[in-house]
Amino acid sequence: SKFPIRQIISTNGLLIDRHFASLKELDSICIGFDGNEVENDLNRGKGSFKRIIEGIKIAKELNIPVHTVCVITKNNINCVEYIINLAKEMGFSVEFNFPCGLLSEISSDYYIEKKENYQSAILKIIEYKKNSHPILFSEKSYEFVLEWLKRFDRPIFFDFVPKNLNYVPCYS
């Protein structure tokens, strides 16, 4: 890069086809991507899947490294394997995030009622990571989330802000 710092953007990927000339200056691009066409479009809007895939292809053609961020929700919790396999096939990396926070602030589209479903998805991610699939973050980080879940009798959401917790809401 001609700049002294790395140039990276995070995007929903929907306008890459319109701005690809300016993207040539980037060192990397992060695109929100949540699964196959049905599940991704439930989380990110109708028609977004096709535009995201096209954006990934354009970035790859420009030799810009791509990684995607996937927020695991009830809509796409069964797409972990699909996402990882597509990442390997298309040559991008994927990071997985798990929504957490106050139930009153989380859309019902995100809420997964059974922590066992989270655990199953995390175990799949760890297994693929162990087999050298293009997953960002270490096995240890996903193992930490798994252990954290085991300490609670319900998913990562809570009905109140516990005392002495410096809670900062995160909106995916």
Q: pLDDT tens for residues 114-155?
A: 778 888 999 999 999 999 999 999 999 999 888 877 776 555
pTM: 0.81
Query: 88-122 pLDDT, tens per residue?
Result: 999 999 999 987 654 555 556 666 667 788 889 99
What is the per-residue pLDDT for 171? 46
Closest CA to 27 of 66, 57, 54: 66
pLDDT above 90 (res 157): no
Tokens found for residue 72? 């695991």
